[in-house]
């Protein structure tokens, strides 16, 4: 397989996986995967991402606390979650949700079951690891975009090494408790998390395949 084919395969295999086995990823492999992600580009090579990886007892503690907080309506944000989706963006969101729930046989009117699927976010979909991505408080939108480039590089690194992952904005809803458990300084602001590990290929929810918009719907070529 040549370089072009290898890249195409890695990109195609990268998708959001929502069920994992309990098998932990060896530390040596963790360091290799995250080390490659360090190659991501950034504005003026500032590399503004700050990453904390929770495993073992730490992730198990969070797996208990976060669902409890969410059930009580206790949330804390380092960055406001106030955007709204309209038009084609709303349609893409709706279509993705429909494909996800269809994979597990949940209809639109089964709201309790849909909520149960959503709450799995706070159990990290049973993944043995989760990476939390932070940004120093003095930085803004430009550097947040750098963290996004780092996150994509990290997820492609997971894919290239036979690992699965799922980026989760929902994990940014509990910044205070996550920083407390991980002993992260207040001046480091939580953007989102990425659960990862080995895919549970027997789980129906992992049969969901979310489509993408046609290229010319998102990209304009100027000559």
pLDDT per residue as tens digits for the range 138-192 = 999 999 999 999 999 999 999 999 999 999 999 999 999 999 999 999 999 999 9
Superfamily of domain covering 21-82+124-206:
NADH Oxidase (3.40.109.10)
Burial of 179 (0-12, 13-18, 19+ CB in 10 A): buried
pLDDT per residue as tens digits for the range 21-42 = 999 999 999 999 999 999 999 9
Assess whether pLDDT exceeds 90 at residue 67.
Answer: yes
- 3-state SS of the chain is CCHHHHHHHHHHHCCECCCECCCCCCHHHHHHHHHHHCCCCCHHHCCCCEEEEECHHHHHHHHHHHHHHHHCCCCECCCCCCCCCCHHHHHHHHHHHHHHHHHCCCCCCCHHHHHHHHHHHHHHHHCCEEEEEEEECCCCHHHHHHHHHHHHHHHHHHHHCCCEEEEEHHHHHEHHHHHHHHCCCCCEEEEEEEEEECECCCCHHHHCCCCCCCHHHHCCCCC
pLDDT per residue as tens digits for the range 70-88 = 999 999 999 998 889 999 9
pLDDT reported for residue 159: 97
Q: How far is CA 97 from CA 49, 58, 108, 124, in A?
A: 29, 30, 10, 18
- Ordered by start, the domain boundaries in the chain are 21-82+124-206
With tokens 């304009």, the residue in question is 220
Measured on CA atoms in the order 141, 43, 159, 163, is the torsion positive or negative? negative
In whole angstroms, give the CA distance from residue 218 to residue 215.
6
pLDDT reported for residue 211: 87
């Amino acid at each position: 397989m040549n370089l072009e084919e290898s890249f195409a395969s890695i990109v195609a295999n990268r998708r959001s996986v929502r069920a994992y086995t309990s098998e932990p990823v060896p530390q040596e492999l963790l360091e290799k995967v995250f080390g490659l992600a360090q190659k991501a580009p950034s504005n003026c090579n500032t590399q503004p991402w700050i990453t904390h990886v929770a495993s073992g007892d730490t992730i198990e503690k969070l797996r208990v606390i976060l669902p409890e907080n969410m059930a009580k309506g206790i949330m804390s944000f380092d960055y406001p979650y106030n955007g709204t989706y309209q038009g084609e963006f709303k349609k893409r969101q709706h279509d993705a949700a429909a494909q996800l729930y269809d994979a597990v046989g949940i209809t639109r009117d089964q709201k309790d079951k849909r909520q149960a699927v959503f709450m799995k976010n706070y159990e990290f979909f049973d993944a043995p690891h989760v990476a939390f991505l932070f940004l120093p408080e003095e930085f803004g939108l430009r550097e947040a975009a750098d963290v996004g480039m780092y996150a994509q590089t990290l997820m492609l690194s997971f894919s290239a090494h036979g690992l699965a992952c799922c980026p989760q904005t929902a994990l940014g809803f509990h910044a205070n408790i996550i920083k407390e458990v991980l002993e992260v300084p207040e001046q480091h602001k939580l953007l989102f998390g990425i659960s990862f590990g080995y895919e549970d290929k027997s789980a129906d929810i992992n049969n969901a395949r979310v489509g993408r918009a046609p290229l010319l719907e998102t990209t304009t070529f100027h000559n």
